[in-house]
Structures are given as structure tokens and as C-alpha cells.
């Protein structure tokens, strides 16, 4: 489910300098939004999913066409607001500057229609993933309500969001939350500078209700904290091109691999690293995966500082 999808334009430049005219090396337009990217990554690997999205205005019409062209199974809910457009400027080495619009407001009736679609689509689902930021005016507890309804029906729920929406979802007992380093620090209200800080913060989210916490750490890999303990890993990327959508690919790989244990974490790392090697927000196909580069640490070095 992506309540705040987007048109994502990624522009590659040699160097971004404020106030100057810059010639671009390439530009690409992709459908965007965290949940959309999860579905795109699953589709690229041949794993079935349904993308539930809100669609509004001419931008929404264009997003619908892009999703259709990629072959995604989509349940689009028409809304009166507009679908946002985001711009990512990618420099060599994987440095990305993002400009994200807030998106249009959703009415109570539109949210109720989304809930009906989710209820219908979740009947045969292995997982329901609520992903991304909430549009302006949407209650912070929306993911919490979604989680409470679905978990009561025995459906597993993953939440990939941030800020108040993530915090509000925790007491509802999501089966999985997937913050990145910044989102984790925001959720616990303090910096996370070492692997030990990450593990402590993840355990705090578990104490608030999350059953498992998968933290994406960029160049530092990822950490999984669940009932079985702590496992960490990384997958080096020598020539990064774009980090846009890499965390979404990581989540998709984790879900596709069973969403539990070191094996699922290893697959997630392979998918996330593959996305970083690709331009813009392209999602990796099986041929792009380098599982041989993944390193898993059942006993991670908790004192290791993270890349600034």
C-alpha cells in the first residue's frame, strides 16, 4: 500500500553546484513511492504482488500508465488531490540529492475506499506492506489501524515508514518494521553511531510492539533483530550509481525470502546492493544479484562505528 506515490525523475550529473547551470548526463522517469518500488522489485524477480496506490490528477494518469507499462498488478484508488512529483539528482559515487513534494490531501471517504481495497486484496496475501510517508492531513495512526485490523485476521504486516506514523504503528504489533538509520534515530529520539546503538534502538522498537526490526544502513549493510536474536551483514558495492529505492529493494528481497533469519537477510542485502549498482530507481532482476558478495555476521562487532 502506497498512499503517497510519485513520479520519480532521476537526473545524473557530474557535479551538483548551487546557483550554476549544469548539463545533465542522463534523465529517467520511473513510478515511485516505497510500496510501488517494493512491488516493482518483486515483479522483477517474478514474485507476485499487488500495488495498492492512490491516483490523482494528470500526474496520476501518467503514473498509472508507467505502472501498466511495467506490468504491475495495480489497484488504483482515484482521489481528488494530485499525485506528487519527486526529483533525485545523482552524482558519481552514489551521492543523491532528493526533492520530494508533500503530495495531495486524502479525504475520509478516499481513505475508507483504500481500506476496502486493502481488505479485499489481503484475503489471499502472505504479507501486507504499508509503505512510505503519509499525505498531508492523514491521521498518524493510519498504519496502526491497518495493522490492528489485519493482524487480528492472521495476516502478517510490514511497516516501512517514519516519524509519528512509525511510532504510532508500534503498539499495534506489526510483524516487521523496516526503518533506515535516520528513521530509527528519529523513532528513539537519539543518534545511532555504532552497531550497538542500532541494536539497542531496534530492541526498543520491539519493546514497544514490533515483532521484528530490519534496519537498512546503506554502506554498512543491514541488521535484523527478532525473537531469534541479532544478525547483521553487508554487501559491498564498488561502483554505486543510485541509492534511490535501494531500501525498498532490500525489503522486497527480505519478504520474498521468507522474512526470517540470516538467509532472508542475505537475500535482502543482495537485492539492495544490486539496486545501488543500477541507475535511477531501477529494480534488480535475478541476473543483477551478486549473492557471492554478501557477508553475514551471526556475531556482529557491535562496537563498529557506522559510516558517517
Domain regions of the chain by residue span: 6-297
Q: Are 272 and 246 in contact (CB under 8 A)?
A: yes
Q: Are 40 and 79 in contact (CB under 8 A)?
A: no
Q: Is the pLDDT of residue 178 over 90?
A: yes
> What does the pLDDT read at residue 145?
96
> What does the pLDDT read at residue 280?
87
Q: Is the pLDDT of residue 300 over 90?
A: no
Name residues whose C-beta falls within 8 Å of residue 221's C-beta, 6 or more positions apart in sequence: 232, 233, 234, 235, 269, 295
Asked about 248 being catalytic, the answer comes back as yes
> What does the pLDDT read at residue 209?
98
Q: Are 84 and 6 in contact (CB under 8 A)?
A: yes
**Helix, strand, coil percent values for the chain (each to nearest 5):** 40, 25, 35
Name residues whose C-beta falls within 8 Å of residue 170's C-beta, 6 or more positions apart in sequence: 177, 205, 208, 209, 210
* Sheet strands side by side (includes 176-177): 127-131, 156-160, 176-177, 213-216, 222-226, 229-234, 295-297
Using DSSP bridges, classify how beta strands 73-78 and 156-160 pair: parallel, antiparallel or unpaired.
unpaired
Tell me the backbone φ, ψ of residue 100, rounded to 5 degrees.
-110, 125
Q: Which of 8, 175, 248, 288 is catalytic?
A: 248
> What does the pLDDT read at residue 299?
84
> What does the pLDDT read at residue 308?
81
> What does the pLDDT read at residue 156?
97
Q: pLDDT, tens digit, for every residue of 58-108?
A: 999 999 999 999 999 999 999 999 999 999 999 998 889 999 999 999 999
What the block records as the C-alpha cell of 289 is: 544479484
Q: Which residue has the higher pLDDT, 207 or 124?
A: 207
Homologous superfamily assigned to 6-297: Ribokinase (3.40.1190.20)
Q: What is the mean pLDDT of residues 159-166?
A: 97
Tell me the backbone φ, ψ of residue 290, rounded to 5 degrees.
-120, 75
Q: pLDDT, tens digit, for every residue of 127-156?
A: 999 999 999 889 999 999 999 999 999 999
> What does the pLDDT read at residue 94?
81
Q: pLDDT, tens digit, for every residue of 220-241?
A: 999 999 999 999 999 999 999 9
Amino acid at each position: 500500500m502506497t498512499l503517497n506515490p510519485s513520479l520519480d525523475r532521476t537526473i545524473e550529473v557530474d557535479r551538483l553546484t548551487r546557483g550554476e547551470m549544469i548539463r545533465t548526463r542522463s534523465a529517467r522517469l520511473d513510478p515511485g513511492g516505497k510500496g510501488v518500488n517494493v512491488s516493482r522489485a518483486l515483479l522483477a524477480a517474478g514474485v507476485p504482488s499487488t500495488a495498492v496506490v492512490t491516483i490523482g490528477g494528470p500526474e496520476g494518469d501518467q503514473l498509472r500508465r508507467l505502472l501498466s507499462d511495467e506490468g504491475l498488478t495495480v489497484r488504483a484508488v482515484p482521489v481528488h488531490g494530485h499525485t506528487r512529483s519527486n526529483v533525485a539528482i545523482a552524482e558519481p559515487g552514489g551521492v543523491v540529492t532528493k526533492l520530494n513534494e508533500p503530495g495531495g490531501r486524502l479525504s475520509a471517504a478516499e481513505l475508507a475506499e483504500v481500506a476496502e481495497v486493502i481488505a479485499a486484496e489481503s484475503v489471499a496475501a502472505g504479507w501486507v506492506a504499508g509503505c512510505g510517508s503519509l499525505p498531508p492531513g492523514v491521521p498518524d495512526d493510519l498504519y496502526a489501524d491497518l495493522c490492528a485490523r489485519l493482524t487480528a485476521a492472521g495476516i502478517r504486516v510490514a511497516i516501512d515508514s517514519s516519524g509519528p506514523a512509525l511510532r504510532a504503528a508500534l503498539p499495534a504489533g506489526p510483524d516487521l518494521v523496516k526503518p533506515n538509520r535516520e528513521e530509527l534515530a528519529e523513532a528513539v529520539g537519539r543518534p545511532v553511531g555504532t552497531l550497538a546503538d542500532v541494536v539497542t534502538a531496534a530492541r526498543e522498537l520491539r519493546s514497544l510492539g514490533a515483532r521484528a526490526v530490519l534496519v537498512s544502513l546503506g554502506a554498512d549493510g543491514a541488521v535484523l533483530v527478532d525473537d531469534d536474536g541479532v544478525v547483521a551483514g553487508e554487501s559491498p558495492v564498488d561502483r554505486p550509481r543510485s541509492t534511490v529505492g535501494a531500501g525498498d529493494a532490500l525489503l522486497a528481497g527480505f519478504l520474498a525470502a521468507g522474512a526470517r533469519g540470516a538467509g532472508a537477510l542475505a537475500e535482502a542485502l543482495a537485492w539492495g546492493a544490486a539496486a545501488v549498482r543500477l541507475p535511477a530507481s531501477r529494480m534488480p532482476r535475478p541476473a543483477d544479484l551478486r549473492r557471492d558478495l554478501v557477508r553475514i555476521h551471526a556475531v556482529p562487532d557491535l562496537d563498529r562505528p557506522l559510516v558517517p
